[in-house]
Structure formats: C-alpha cells, structure tokens
C-alpha cells in the first residue's frame, strides 16, 4: 500500500506458551501481512529477562505487552480454551485492557462448544442445588453488606413466617400484639 500506513494489530493469545511460539507468531504476522495489516506479536518486544527474578520478569513482560498494545490500532485475540475450559487469562486481561482504551477487539476460537458446555465437559459433576426457591445454579447468594443471606427458620409454635409477626415466649414480648 504505497503512501498509506497499514493498520497495526496486536495478536493476543496463548501461542506464546507453545514450544514453537516464535514460529507460530511468524505465521500469524505473515498472515496479517497478506491482508494489509501489520501484525504485532507479544514476543516481538525482545526482552532481556536473564538477571530478573520471576516476579520482575512477569512485570517486564506485562509492561512490554501493554506498550505493544498501545502502539496498535486493534487486537485480534485467540479465545480458544487453554489449560482448562476457558481462554488464557493473560489474553482475557489484554482484551479487557484494549476495550478499556476504546480500541476494537476481534476474537476467534478454534472450539465449537459454548463456554457453558465446555465447563460441563471439563467438570461433569452436576451443579449443586441451593434449596432456595428452586434455584439450581449452584450460586450462594449474599446480602449487599457481604454477609451470607440466611432465611429465618420457623419454629413449630410460630403462627407467621414474618419475623415481626412472630409470637415470642419471654415475659412482655407479646403485649400489644
């Protein structure tokens, strides 16, 4: 494209963890070039991580990838399940980071099942029944203050299930009721 700058796209995904990560990135960058895009692969940063501690290495990679993302116009993200039923957590962060910056994200997956079906296949145990109002989603509800919601239990001698209408058996409790 003479005189026109090609759009830059960051190529997010778990390929950086593969044994052939550099080759996988080169294939993706070449594919972008065929379609008029300039692909930026996370390993393009060329970092020297030799003397850094593990936490410092992770932070250096994080800063470098965010820098690459900021240089790009959009992100193409591989959302294929990685090490479980969901996408790579680093890719999930990058997708959220880019959307927070107002840039477009284009995602794809090499898996045909929905996330729900992948989770059920990964962990086939049935969801637990909560026993509350027929909910069968396995989610424990909490009150807005963070404490666990507990339903008032009725005693056999209670005439009403509403706490303010209960009769109590201590002296003077039921006067005026």
Distance CA 96, CA 105 (A): 9
In a domain, 57, yes or no: yes
Report residue 161's pLDDT band, with 50, 70 and 90 as the boundaries.
Answer: low
Select the more confidently predicted residue: 93 or 115.
93
Indicate the number of domains in the chain: 1
In a domain, 2, yes or no: no
Distance CA 111, CA 109 (A): 5
Two tokens, residue 126: 């049935």
In a domain, 88, yes or no: yes
**Does residue 136 have a pLDDT over 50?**
no
CATH of the domain at 103: 3.40.50.450
Predicted local distance difference test score (pLDDT) of residue 71: 93
In a domain, 164, yes or no: no
Q: List the 105-108 sheet strands across, edge first.
A: 38-40, 8-12, 74-78, 105-108
Identify the helix (H) or strand (E) that includes residue 9.
strand 8-12
In a domain, 28, yes or no: yes
**Does residue 2 have a pLDDT over 90?**
no
In a domain, 168, yes or no: no
In a domain, 110, yes or no: yes
Domain that holds residue 57: 8-122
In a domain, 71, yes or no: yes
The mean-pLDDT minimum among 76-90, 103-117, 126-140 falls in 126-140
Is pTM beyond 0.85? Reply is no
């Amino acid at each position: 494209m003479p005189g026109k700058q090609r759009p830059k796209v960051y190529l997010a995904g778990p390929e950086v963890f593969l044994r052939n990560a550099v080759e996988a990135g080169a294939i993706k960058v070449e594919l972008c070039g065929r379609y008029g895009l300039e692909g930026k692969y996370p390993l393009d940063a060329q970092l020297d991580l030799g003397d850094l501690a593990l936490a410092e290495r992770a932070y250096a990679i994080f800063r470098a990838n965010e820098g690459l993302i900021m240089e790009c116009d959009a992100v193409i993200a591989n959302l294929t399940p990685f090490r479980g039923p969901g996408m790579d957590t680093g890719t999930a962060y990058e997708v959220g980071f880019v959307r927070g910056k107002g840039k477009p994200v284009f995602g794809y997956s090499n898996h045909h099942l929905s996330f729900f079906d992948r989770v059920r296949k990964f962990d086939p145990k049935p969801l637990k029944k909560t026993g509350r109002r027929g909910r069968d989603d396995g989610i424990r509800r909490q009150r807005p203050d963070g404490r666990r919601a507990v339903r008032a239990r009725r005693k056999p001698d209670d005439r009403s299930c509403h706490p303010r209408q209960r009769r109590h058996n201590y002296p003077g409790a039921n006067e005026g009721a």
